[in-house]
Amino acid sequence: MTRLKGLFAVTALWILLGMLPLALLTSSSITLSDQAVRSEVRDRVETTASVSRVVVEQQMGSLKQLVSAFAQRPEVRRTVISGESATRSALAGYLKELAHMRSGISGVIVIGADGDMIGAEPRSGLPQDVSTTDWYLAVRSRGQAHVSQAYTPTMRGVSRAVAVAVPIPAADGGELLGILAAVYSLDAIQDFASQAAEAQGIRLLITDQSGVLVADPGRKVYALTSMREDPRVDAALAGRSLFTGFDGTVLSASEPIPDIGWTVTAEVPTAEALASAETLRMRVLSVAALLAVLIVAGLAVQIRTTRGRRRTQATLARYAEALAAARDEAVSASVAKTEFLAKVSHEIRTPINGVLGMNGLLLGTRMDDEQRHYAGTVQASAQNLLRLLDDFLDLSKIEAGRLEAEAVPFDLPRLCDEVVAPLAPHAYRQGLWLTLRLDDDVPQHVVGDPVRLRQVLSNLIGNALKFTVQGGVDLEVALETAGGEEAIGDDHVTLRFAVTDTGVGVGPDDRGRVFEVFRQVDSPITRRTGGSGLGLAISRQLTELMGGRIGLDSMEGIGSRFHLTLPVDVLTWSAPASAELRDRRVLVADARQEDRALAGRILAGAGLVAEQAQDAAAALAMLRTAAGDGHPFDLAVVDLDMSAVPEADEPVSLADAILSDSLLHATNVVVLVTPGRTGSAWPDVSVAPDRIVQSMTRPLSRRRLLAAIENTLSTADKDDESGNFEVESRSEPVRILVAEDDEVSREVARLVLRKAGHRVDVVDDGEQAVRAVLGGDYDLVFMDCQLPVLDGLAATVDIRRRQERPGRTPIIAMTAAAMPDDRVRCLEAGMNAHLTKPVDWQHVLGQIPAWVSPEVPAELEGLSPEDVADIAQAFLSSVPGVLHELREAVEAGHPKQAGSLAHRLRGSCAAVGAARAAELCRRVEELPATGTVSELAKELERVFGEMTRLTQGRELINRT
């Protein structure tokens, strides 16, 4: 009996020891999964509330702008000035035009400044007493556009609406003539809430400034329902964001819409939101139960074995020892595995900056194809994450009104080349063609925003390549002519960009939605490649920000054509080709007919005599015939992958055949290289050392093709064009200090800069940076803004205070802060430029010579010294007059005039590369709407100080 009790005790102990780790593991797994689900649900609810707030604010803001612009029309002013009742036909015309421009506008009301009714359409929508409405009182008192509280109009088909009321100003902008109110049906807001609820599975509640329900996708709202008693709405009306926790029946996030005083609340039932957690919990418990059964079964087998061993102890003793040893090894292996997994889990939490930097260095080492594929996948994944973050940041900036278009000079053909070059290898690897077509009459140097234009074109071309499986993509650039009139020679022109593909196309029902946020066309390609649905939406908003328009022509199954028009100022038109190229004979040999025709058109336009051949045999025959007749071709432009079979046992490339043929000794060669494809080897130039062989990377462009031909024919020296698309300029090694507290980022910077040949020292706090810069002879400093002991901004201020101006060391900010105000703070601290992390080190390496020895502002690169001097002189001569007018406007108390003059001065500063002065002018431009007269005067003094430094120091003239 005692032995039996001991056996039961041992059995219970084994069960406890076996079940306890399983119970702990099950409990921790359930807890972690529940926390992950709760975090994901909260992020989804809060993100939906935030995005919905931005969308509603943008919709109502654009509506106020539309009605405000309409109120400034002369015919509206005449209606108010006449003081007579407006004709119903006139008001009907107003309503029809407004409704055409914005669906949802159901009525218009025009009243005088003193509250007298001038007219309304339809007349059933006329309030009984206009002078007591909140919108009349708000516009009358503040003189600004106002969105009223929701109300129930007495017009047919509109159950709830708001009045968007704006002042009708006099022509000089001073006197208030009257008020124009547009009755806007809230059905559009209700539709948006319903779409969001259907897409995200989250219910949206939108209220006006008094807490009246505006939209609720869960029900049809006909009457005015107040939600002021709801604490979530009450908190949002008070200007606070609120999230209700997981202890109630509903999860919700409420946010205020400050511009119009509304609120938006995103909510989802707790049970529905946590259903996945419950499912996961049941699965974990099921697995745990299965493991428990296995453990109990194992213990039962062990007990049976023990009892059998007791009966045959002498025979099975050695097996018991072996079993104990095996058990110890299994426990050791389990502990080692646990420690290894914990170590790996800790090590993979590397910052994205370190991943990109170190992986970029890895890609520069020797690797086999499989290793390079893996490293390239890592790099592409990290860059896709960065692009998604940049998209959200751009979308946030645009919708917050904090992203502004720049106006700087840039080289248009070069920008187009730089857009298609990185996309070409991907296109050619997929078997697609990518063509760049620039009309001969497009200007060369224009004023605009090259960064945003490059982003838009890259988005459009990348999107076209994504949805194209055969055929290719074209980028065409031409002048937009008005009424057939020629625009060549004008100072202001409109450019037309068109991206055409042979992809899947877009159906009629989807064309209106492709430019919307988080909208994608449903297709197998979309489901395979995914995406955020932000690219085209951001492209549309960036295009409109630059003053252009974007549109889509598409046929499903045939292809699509995205077109955008953009107004720009012209600095210089395309220079004519070198006179030494005229009448030189060139043969173009390319199997692709479109590329042959494009090359022939470019060469003929430059004055060369161009002939074409579609295969190697025809090309060789034409070359030999011309050489035999005593009129050989000066140059052959041939595809590197085109094979020829001369009198040899093995086939060779056409370029090799030309070089090895003594009859063709007068013909030089330009080979066309297709990136992303494995083609023929480089021609053997040793067989013809007296001939010149140049290369040019597809896609073809006039700028690069003519440069390659001029180099080959030795007609002119080219300092930026050679065998490849862009030849990396080698800069002299410089001494650089890197101030960075993050070890990974510091190591990446050190390795990249040293690999480029520079001498690099590193420090990890601000005080060390100050001592190093003041005590060392550094040519350049990279300064992190968030340093311990002394932050980067304070360190820069200290350095600038203690350094002499002529010998100041350039300091470049490196920071994760990417908003415009962060850049302003860096410039005000005395830094020379602003880099956002993760750092694009290829761009940085190219900019180091310009930072170390700035000769001409980047905005004026590509212009001749004479053009730069003319622009600088015009700037210096115009600045004093504008500054004088600006001071008079501030002293006279005319903030609007001061803002207009500051905007004018800002554009001039940006055009000549005076970045700090341009930022200061921007702040003066914004103050009339948000600041006081004293703040305006204070900022104006900063502008005067900076402009005095520019004009008296005559920095621009000295640079030229």
pLDDT digits (tens, 9 = 90+) for 712-737: 776 433 333 333 333 333 456 889 99
Give the domain 734-854 fold: Rossmann fold (3.40.50)
Would you kindly state where each structural domain of the chain is located, as residue ranges? 407-572, 576-717, 734-854, 865-952
pLDDT at 874: 60
pLDDT at 441: 84
What is the percentage of the chain residues whose pLDDT exceeds 70?
Answer: 71
Q: Mean pLDDT across the stretch 43-66? A: 85
pLDDT at 932: 56
Most confident of 74-88, 146-160, 490-504, 807-821: 490-504
Q: Is 0.75 topped by the overall pTM?
A: no
Q: What is the mean pLDDT of the chain?
A: 76
pLDDT at 352: 61
Q: What is the SS3 assignment for 618?
A: helix
- Nearest-10 crossing angle of helices 535-545, 369-399: 50
Higher pLDDT, 622 or 44: 622
pLDDT at 341 over 50: no
pLDDT at 812: 92
Q: Which of 30-44, 369-383, 462-476, 549-563 has the lowest mean pLDDT?
A: 369-383
Element of type H or E holding 783: strand 780-784
pLDDT at 337: 40
Residues 746-779 have pLDDT tens digits of 888 888 888 888 899 999 888 999 989 888 788 8
pLDDT at 377 over 80: no
pLDDT at 943: 61
Note the Cα 10 to chain centre separation in Å.
67
Highest CATH level, class, for 407-572: alpha beta
pLDDT at 199 over 50: yes
One-letter identity of residue 746: R
Q: Which of 97-106, 333-342, 911-920 has the lowest mean pLDDT?
A: 333-342
pLDDT at 247: 65
pLDDT at 417 over 60: yes
Higher pLDDT, 412 or 158: 412
Q: What is the SS3 assignment for 632?
A: coil
Residue 338: band (very low, low, confident or very high) from pLDDT cuts 50, 70, 90: very low
pLDDT at 131 over 70: yes
pLDDT at 564: 92
- Nearest-10 crossing angle of helices 702-713, 412-420: 100
Residue 339: band (very low, low, confident or very high) from pLDDT cuts 50, 70, 90: very low
Residue 958: band (very low, low, confident or very high) from pLDDT cuts 50, 70, 90: very low
pLDDT at 405 over 60: yes
Of 195, 203, 216, 96, nearest to 150 (Cα)? 216
Residues 419-452 have pLDDT tens digits of 888 788 888 888 888 888 888 888 888 888 888 8
Element of type H or E holding 117: strand 117-121
Cis peptide before 450 (omega within 30 of 0): no
How many residues belong to the chain?
960
pLDDT at 368 over 60: yes
Record the tokens describing residue 412, joined without a space: 């248009």
Contact between 409 and 445 (Cβ < 8 Å):
yes
Higher pLDDT, 954 or 271: 271
pLDDT at 525 over 50: no
Q: Which of 120-124, 514-518, 598-602, 609-613 has the lowest mean pLDDT?
A: 514-518
pLDDT at 498: 94
Contact between 851 and 831 (Cβ < 8 Å):
no
pLDDT at 143: 84
Whether 734-854 and 407-572 are alike in CATH topology: the answer is no
Higher pLDDT, 2 or 655: 655
Instruction: Output DSSP code: residue 421.
Output: G
Contact between 126 and 109 (Cβ < 8 Å):
yes
Contact between 499 and 459 (Cβ < 8 Å):
no
pLDDT at 754: 87
The CATH number, out of the four listed (1.20.140, 3.90.320, 1.20.120, 3.90.380), of the domain defined by the range 865-952: 1.20.120
pLDDT at 562: 92
Question: What is d(CA 820, CA 822) in angstroms, rounded to the nearest whole number?
Answer: 5
pLDDT at 524: 47
Q: Report whether CATH 3.40.50.2300 matches the domain 576-717.
A: yes
Residue 960: band (very low, low, confident or very high) from pLDDT cuts 50, 70, 90: very low
pLDDT at 782 over 90: yes
